[in-house]
Structure 1
Amino acid sequence: MSLLELQQVNAYYDQIRALHDLTLDVQEREIVTLIGSNGAGKSTTLKAICGQVKTTGKVLFADREITPLATHQVAQLGISHVPEGRRIFPKLTVKENLEMGAFSVRDKKVVQERIERVFDYFPRIKERLHQQGGTMSGGEQQMLAIGRALMSGPKLLLLDEPSMGLAPVIVEQIFEIIQELNKEGMTILLVEQNAYQALQIAHRGYVIQTGKITLGDTATNLLGNEQVKEAYLA
């Protein structure tokens, strides 16, 4: 069953059209990756899902059209977005950042349970509980950004370039956590410039070029596709 569907979606920055009749779907419990070069429209696709850019066409989530909704309404339905560059609150502590991720959760017991679950995934940030987010390393900030997104209890996690600027050992840890989340039932749409790494853990993938989907297939087939190899895996 499709949890997320984009049907003939166009996205605009003022008069500039950034997505062109983009169509894709994400099934429940899948990791789907969107790969492409810088400026291809990967981040814009996630913004279109979240209501952060002007769009036409249809975005469906759990068979409900969410295209007209504001960003906070999309989040309340169960979609969490970890944006490119992490964008944690640098002057807030780790604990305060996590609590911000649960702003719509009224039950304090649930909030605390989710914090503990985040610490299970990311023990390193538990050690930084009262440290300001902006003073942590890039890898720790990425862990915090993902942890904050999990605090709302999402059904769909949108990840935008989680490996950007991180050391290989940290990237490996982040991708292991993404796989673990998926094994526990989380549906994930992953935007990632490291196409090889993304396709290694994804079930399916799409290639986007200049705002258009040019190819969609299983991750295994994309890894073996000569055009994909030449353009993104070399």
Structure 2
Amino acid sequence: MSMLELRDVHAYYGAIHALRGVSLRVEPGEIVTLIGSNGAGKSTTLKAICGQVKTEGDIRFGGRSIASQPPHVTAREGVAHVPEGRRIFPRLSVKENLEMGAFSVKDKKLIQERIERAFDYFPRLKERYHQAGGTMSGGEQQMLAIARALMMNPKLLLLDEPSMGLAPVIVEQIFAIIRDLNAAGMTILLVEQNAFQALQIASRGYVIQTGRVILEDDAKMLLASSQVKEAYLA
């Protein structure tokens, strides 16, 4: 059984028809990437999974339909979303941001254990423990956004443009962390404009264009595809 499956999903922003029959699947333990140009529907796909936009069609998580389910319910069931632009709480400290990520966890000892586990992946955040999130660098904020999502101990991590606006050396660090998370058993759906980086670490990939999936294949095959090279890797 797939961990996540979208079946003919349409999404709307008012009268705007943003997704036009998207179907995809993510198997347990995979990194699956969704690539495409700006405005293609990548971020909308993640928002559809989380119930943040109006949808038609079916979205199944662990075999159960979650289509149009409230976002907080989907989060509690094991889907964590790191949105484009990071969206941390800029006035809150690193500690407070992480605690906000564990909003439904009542056990304080468990929260602290998860914070320590986050620091294993992001030791820089431990150094910034009491620092306001908004005063940190873009790379540190991205680390914080991912660490905050991990506080829910998710089964599926949705990452939206984690490399956006970051220096190349920081991008390498972020992608190394994504690989480490996956190696530890995390299933990941990665939306990324940096198609080369995404396909390097993914198991499989989908190419989306104007709200439709136009190509899907093994990541290595997509890297070798002349169509993908011309459009996204040039």
Q: TM-score scaled to structure 2, two decimals?
A: 0.99
* Matching residue of 1:88: 88
Query: What is the letter of the counterpart of residue 162 of structure 1?
Result: P
- Would the aligned equivalents of 2:30 and 2:203 in 1 still touch at CA under 8 Å? yes
Matched, 1:218 2:221: no
Q: CA RMSD in A?
A: 0.5
Letter in 1 for 2:4: L
> CA-to-partner distance for each residue in 1:71-110, whole Å, 9 max, x for gaps?
1011011000000000000000000000000010111111
Query: Partner letter of residue 35 of structure 2?
Result: I
Match of 1:38 in 2: 38
Matched, 1:191 2:191: yes
CA contact (8 A) 2:54 2:68 kept: no
Distance, in Å, in 2 between the alignment partners of 1:167 and 1:125 is 18
- Matching residue of 2:151: 151
Q: Distance in 2 between matches of 1:61 and 1:162?
A: 23
Measure, in 2, the Cα distance between the counterparts of 1:126 and 1:227: 43
Q: Unpaired segments of 5 or more residues in structure 1?
A: none
1:124 aligns with 2:124: yes
- CA–CA separation in structure 2 for the residues paired with 1:130 and 1:204: 39
Equivalent in the alignment of 1:79: 79
Instruction: Map 1:153-192 to 2 at 5 A.
Output: 153-192=153-192
In the TM superposition, what whole-angstrom CA distance separates every residue of 1:116-168 from its partner, at most 9, and x where no partner exists?
A: 01001001111000000000000000000000000000000000000000011
- Moved >6 Å (runs of 4+): none
Structure 2 residue aligned with 1:103: 103
**In structure 2, what is the equivalent of residue 13 of structure 1?**
13
| Cα shift at 1:68 | 3.0
- Find the aligned partners of 1:228 and 1:203 in 2 and give their Cα distance: 16
- In the alignment, structure 2 segments of 5+ residues that lack a partner are none
Count the aligned residue pairs.
Answer: 234
- Secondary structure (helix, strand or coil) at the match of 1:152 reads coil
Query: What does residue 24 of structure 1 align with?
Result: 24
Measured in 2, the distance between the counterparts of 1:216 and 1:40 equals 15
Q: CA deviation at 1:25?
A: 0.2
Q: What amino acid maps onto 2:71 in structure 1?
A: T
**Cα distance in structure 1, aligned partners of 2:149 and 2:128:** 18
SS of equivalent residue, structure 2 residue 3: strand
Q: Is 2:35–2:193's contact at 8 Å kept on the other side of the alignment?
A: yes
Q: Distance in 2 between matches of 1:154 and 1:110?
A: 14
- Report the Cα distance in structure 2 between the residues aligned to 1:97 and 1:159, rounded to whole angstroms: 18
Q: Partner amino acid for 1:110?
A: L
Find the aligned partners of 1:109 and 1:168 in 2 and give their Cα distance: 37
Q: What SS is found at the alignment partner of 1:153?
A: coil
